[in-house]
C-alpha cells in the first residue's frame, strides 16, 4: 500500500510511520493530510483531532445512542484518510456517517487502503463541501465536522455566515458544529471565524494550545458552535489539560473578547 498515487487534484503519498508498524501517514500534494493506525482506530495522532474527542465522549457519550433507534449521525466535510470517521465508527455502535471528499480518486484510494467501514456505516460522497451541505435535510445530523483545506487555509466559501447558517439548519437539536481552523500568528482568520460563528450560533467555544492563542506561531484552533449550551465542564477541560499537547478552552465572553475588532465573513 505504500507509494505515490495520482489523484484528481495532484498526488497522494502513503508512507509508513516509523513509530508504529500499523501506522501510516497520508500526504496530499506534499502536505501531511491524515494519520491512520489500521490496528487501532482509537489512536488519533493529530492533536486537533484529540481535542475533538471530548466533544463526543463527554458531550455525547455513547450510552446516549443505542445503535438501533438512536444512532449518532455525523457529517464530515473533508475526507482525507477518514481518521475521525474510523474513530467514531469504533466508539458508537451503528453510527451513520457521511464523509464528503472533493477528490474522487483520493476517496477510492482511502477506501481501498485504510479499511473504512462500508456504507451505511460510513458513506464516502464525492463532492464539493460548499455545494453538498445546502442539499442536506433540516435537523439531520448530530455533529458536523469541517476539516477542509486548500493548501494551508480553508476555502473562504466554507467560512461565511451563510455557510454557518446552513450548518445550523442541518444540525438537530443539541447538535454541534466542529471546525478545524488553521491560522498564522496574527490570528486574523481565526478572529474572523469567531465573529462569524458568534453572529449565527448562541454558544461558541475554541480549543488551542496556549502559544497559538497568544499569537506565537502557526497552528490549529478547533471551534465548537451550537444553539444549545455546550457541555464544557471540569471533565472536558481536564481532558484538554492532560492531552499530549495540552490545550486551552476559551468559551463564553472570552470568545467575544477574542473576536473584538474582527468582522464576520459575509462574501
Q: What is the pLDDT of residues 19-31, one digit of tens each?
A: 888 999 999 999 8
pLDDT of residue 51: 96
- 151-197 per-position pLDDT tens digit: 778 999 999 999 999 999 999 999 999 999 999 889 999 999 999 99
CA dihedral in degrees (162, 167, 170, 171; nearest 10)?
-140
Band of residue 261 on the pLDDT scale cut at 50, 70, 90: very high
The whole-number average pLDDT for the span 53-61 is 95
Tens digits of per-residue pLDDT, 208-231? 999 998 888 888 999 999 999 999
Q: Which three cell numbers stand for residue 112?
A: 481501498
Q: Measure the CA–CA gap between 149 and 141, rounded to whole angstroms.
A: 22
For residue range 71-111, list pLDDT tens digits in order: 999 999 998 899 999 999 999 999 999 999 999 999 999 99
Q: Is 253 helix (H, G, I), strand (E, B) or coil?
A: helix
pLDDT for residue 151: 72
Question: Mean pLDDT across the chain, nearest whole number?
Answer: 95
Domain ranges of the chain: 42-258
Alpha-helical regions (H) of 114-251 = 129-132, 161-170, 188-200, 210-213, 234-241
Could you report the per-residue pLDDT of 130-155, keeping only the tens digit for each? Answer: 999 999 999 999 999 999 988 778 99
118-127 pLDDT, tens digit per residue, is 999 999 999 9
pLDDT at 112 over 80: yes
pLDDT (0 to 100) of residue 218 = 84
Per-residue pLDDT for 262 more than 80? yes
Which one-letter DSSP state was computed for residue 9? T
Q: For 35-51, what is the mean pLDDT?
A: 96
Q: What are phi and psi of 246, to 5 degrees?
A: -55, 140
Q: What is the pTM of this model?
A: 0.96
Rounded to an integer, what distance in angstroms lies between the CA atom of residue 83 and that of residue 196? 27
In this prediction, residue 202 carries a pLDDT of 97
Residue 164 φ then ψ, to 5° = -60, -35
Q: What are the beta bridge partners of residue 4?
A: 13
Q: What is the pLDDT of residue 192?
A: 97
At the top level of CATH, the class of 42-258 is alpha beta
Closest to 80 (Cα-Cα) out of 27, 10, 133, 141: 27
pLDDT of residue 87: 98
Amino acid at each position: 500500500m505504500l507509494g505515490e498515487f495520482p489523484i484528481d487534484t495532484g498526488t497522494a503519498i502513503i508512507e509508513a510511520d516509523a513509530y508504529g508498524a500499523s501506522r501510516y501517514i497520508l500526504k496530499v500534494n506534499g502536505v501531511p493530510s491524515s494519520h491512520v493506525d489500521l490496528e487501532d482506530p482509537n489512536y488519533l495522532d493529530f492533536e486537533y483531532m484529540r481535542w475533538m474527542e471530548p466533544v463526543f465522549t463527554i458531550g455525547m457519550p455513547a450510552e446516549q445512542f443505542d445503535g438501533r433507534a438512536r444512532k449518532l449521525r455525523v457529517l464530515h466535510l473533508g475526507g482525507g484518510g477518514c481518521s475521525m470517521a474510523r474513530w467514531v465508527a469504533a466508539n458508537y455502535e451503528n453510527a451513520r456517517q457521511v464523509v464528503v471528499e472533493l477528490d474522487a480518486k483520493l476517496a477510492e484510494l482511502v477506501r481501498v487502503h485504510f479499511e473504512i467501514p462500508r456504507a451505511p456505516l460510513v458513506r464516502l460522497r464525492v463532492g464539493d463541501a460548499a455545494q453538498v451541505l445546502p442539499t442536506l435535510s433540516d435537523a439531520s445530523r448530530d455533529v458536523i465536522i469541517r476539516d477542509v483545506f486548500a493548501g494551508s487555509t480553508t476555502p473562504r466559501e466554507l467560512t461565511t455566515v451563510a455557510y454557518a447558517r446552513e450548518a445550523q439548519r442541518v444540525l438537530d437539536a443539541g447538535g454541534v458544529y466542529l471546525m478545524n481552523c488553521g491560522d498564522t500568528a496574527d490570528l486574523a482568520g481565526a478572529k474572523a471565524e469567531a465573529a462569524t460563528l458568534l453572529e449565527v450560533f448562541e454558544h461558541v467555544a475554541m480549543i488551542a494550545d496556549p502559544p497559538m492563542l497568544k499569537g506565537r506561531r502557526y497552528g490549529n484552533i478547533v471551534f465548537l458552535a451550537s444553539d444549545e449550551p455546550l457541555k464544557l465542564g471540569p471533565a472536558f477541560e481536564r481532558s484538554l489539560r492532560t492531552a499530549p499537547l495540552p490545550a486551552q478552552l476559551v468559551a463564553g465572553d472570552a470568545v467575544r473578547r477574542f473576536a473584538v475588532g474582527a468582522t464576520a465573513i459575509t462574501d
